[in-house]
Amino acid sequence: MSNAIVLLSGGMDSAVSLEIAKAQGFQVSALSFKYGQRHGAELNASSKIAEIAGVVEHIVMDIDLRAFGQSALTDQIAVPKDRTLDEMNSRIPVTYVPARNTIFLSFALAFAEVRQAYDIFIGVNALDYNGYPDCRPEYITAFQAMANLATAQAVNSGKSLTIHTPLIKKSKTEIIKLGTELGVDFSETVSCYEANSNGQACGHCDACVLRRSGFNECGIQDPTIYINEKVASS
């Protein structure tokens, strides 16, 4: 059985990506990050998801990106609320964390090398997060090309490392349907950018809007627990 590294944030996209890796027959090691994000409840979610999935190991890296700031997720910047999809994609949003996916994938690349893994899974989604430059196919293609020049494992073995992005062209609705088919327990996932310590969601940030819309379009009950109960029925 081949090894794979799955970047596991604790959100719905990464949880579905984990189950896809398992369904493809990979032995999974999960990698999460405590990077100073204001929605730290997602880390608790990642631990639960990893345990339920029965991964080989789950490592949480501590890299505090608050030292750099300039993101609504790591700095004293207001998180946008109640925006339309067009508004979300009109420009790079303030919830973009500078170079985050490059940092995460670099750690995953090192982890893959020491675990003799040639496959990395990341749940980036270019349709819902078109405003994020590091969620786009051309970025992933470029990183993969670099990765195959950057490690002794790739150079010495002659085998190519693959960055898997199984959700990159899927809508939230399609992701929820696929996750449901794979048995993902979405009640254990946390998407909200301002989730409280109990994992309760604000219901108004971009992540909440996209998540709730996806469940509504699927006709599937949204298992998210919101801080304001009125949001759940809207």
pLDDT tens readout for residues 141-163: 999 999 999 999 999 999 999 99
Predicted pLDDT of residue 80: 96
pTM of the model: 0.96
57, two tokens: 């190991």
Predicted pLDDT of residue 234: 55
Beta bridge mates, 51: none
- Burial annotation 81-94 (CB, 10 A radius, 16+ → b, else e): eebeeeebbeeebe
For residue range 170-182, list pLDDT tens digits in order: 999 999 999 999 9
Under the banding of pLDDT at 50, 70 and 90, the label for residue 89 is confident
Q: How much is the mean pLDDT over the chain? A: 95
Under the banding of pLDDT at 50, 70 and 90, the label for residue 129 is confident
Residue 228 pLDDT more than 90?
Answer: no
Q: 67 or 39, which is more confident? A: 67
